[in-house]
Structure 1
Amino acid sequence: MKSKKILLACVPLLLGACQGGGMDSHDPTVDTSGGMQGQWVLESGQADGKALNTAAGKITLNTANKDAFTGIAAINQYNAPVKIRGNTIEHTGETTTTLMAGDMEVMRLESDYIKALNATKTIRRDGDTLTLSGDGIELRYRPGS
């Protein structure tokens, strides 16, 4: 009887834990005050003079967490530890991803995107466009949902 009570007491805790989001659980709204926090969708990208094939898949960027960029890189979720100081991006650790596979073209986009994201050095917002850039890198995002 005692073990049933303990089990019943644990059920709400387990259900609450299941409702917590994964790596991308932050508020998906864009900061309308002109800030850079929120959910963004990659509109275009360039790495080393080559355009990213953004038509191959949807890439998101969540900037709500001040210690990491998170999102979906066409197939997999990613978490890129960063520190933002003004408009400067400091990458503070390895970018991690989930390990799902997909179509070769989509996997290529994901790989190119993660490599470009890891090379970004600055972040700026101009109206409804968020731009991350670095040496030979430019990633342009629009507000997402």
Structure 2
Amino acid sequence: HRRDNSTPPPDGVEYATLDRLFADSDVVSLHCPLSASTAGLVHAERLAQMKPTAFLINTARGPLVVEPDLAAALRAGRLAGAAVDALSTEPPAADNPLLSAPRCLVTPHIAWATAAARQRLIDIAAENLRAFLAGKPVHQVPLG
């Protein structure tokens, strides 16, 4: 799915509406920012369009998904499963419906935390420190 379909898709790629994407996909994986237009993007009506054999994955932002709707879909067997690495409130409240939903894997927002990602974080921090000590800061944050 793309907001702007004015550019032709690459060979072998087909643009689809969100409704068609949810209806046809075996796996829907969310990778979009949280904004006014994406908050609640995955709700009961969209979940009802998904195949009962489909999986939903959210490693983006928690509020993209209406959590009670996803939990209800899982409890009703309308989805094969879900994996979420981001919740609407972190840390989650004890009564978050996804924590007790069947076939729902919840991780503590650490999908980025591979060894390679942590090493890249360390390398960037070290490079930023070296640049700062050399009087050439890379990222300056205005104060005040």
Higher percent of residues as strand: 1
Same fold (TM over 0.5): no
Higher relative contact order (CA 8 A, sep 6+): 1
| Normalised TM-score (structure 2) | 0.25
User: Whose helix proportion is higher, 1 or 2?
Assistant: 2
Q: TM-score, normalised by structure 1?
A: 0.25
* Structure of greater Rg: 2
